[in-house]
A = this chain, B = another copy of it.
């Protein structure tokens, strides 16, 4: 493992999680933030996640079902769980938050870009980044919708640039989809796989560039099909979910998944379909149904209600 110094660019929900998880697993971690205001918003997130880590490790002692795959092994003893919990605060405290480009990136082995999902922000970031990076540094993007080939040329090191895509709540949903572009060098891809494993992620390796990666390539058509049944009034969400869970043994049907994804995100995805502007088309009907719920504040589990009620 040649990676020791990890810098996360961006301190949003996922950037904070990636930073803490890397620090928890023994890496030297910095977070680069755009402003002092961003630092003030990021620090409480780190504290909150550190609290969740400790509470989860404590809960695992009494109840194995509480275990988060990113935090402990299945066979960890109570003593081992205590030892892991004791690592959380020092890991949190060790994370350096800075707005200084040279301090953040000057000795980085790996930069994890988690800035806003907007090429107009990512491109200037990469252009400035390369002025401060050492030759050795590998750069990965956590983008979920944009492709590494869109940005490779702006990094100044296309062969050391690829995507490392995390799921939310990475201490639990510990998957990392790893995807290069055509110019990524295999040796750097392999180092990123090794790093993903070192921070307790399950690396999911894509052999080539694929919009939406693996998960969303399946999830989007699956959820769209469920939304179509609902929007065309074939069946109600409860019936559709029951059909899926009973037939496949899955814990959640598509409408429970949509509540987690959030109805605004679902709406944005359907809206991108050119047919969506026709109110008589299926995408148009889906948009109308989702908008009705969004307008009523029922945007999903985080709002307390979406297709289901959560409080």
Contacts and interface: CB of A to CB of B under 8 A. Distances in A.
B239 A214 contact: yes
A173 B247 contact: yes
Nearest to A239: B204
Interface stretch (A34-42, A59-67, A88-96, A205-213): A205-213
A173 B250 CA distance: 13
Interface residues of A, number: 43
Given A221-B221, A229-B210, A175 B243 contact: yes
Which has the most chain B C-beta neighbours within 10 Å: A167, A233, A246, A247?
A: A247
Given A173-B247, A205-B235, A249-B251, 6 more contacts: A202-B246, A204-B239, A210-B229, A218-B222, A218-B225, A221-B221
16 contacts: A175-B246, A204-B239, A205-B235, A205-B239, A206-B234, A207-B234, A208-B232, A214-B240, A215-B243, A217-B234, A219-B247, A219-B248, A222-B222, A248-B250, A248-B252, A248-B257
Interface of A: 167, 173-175, 177, 202, 204-208, 210, 214-215, 217-222, 224-226, 228-229, 232-235, 239-240, 242-244, 246-252, 254, 257
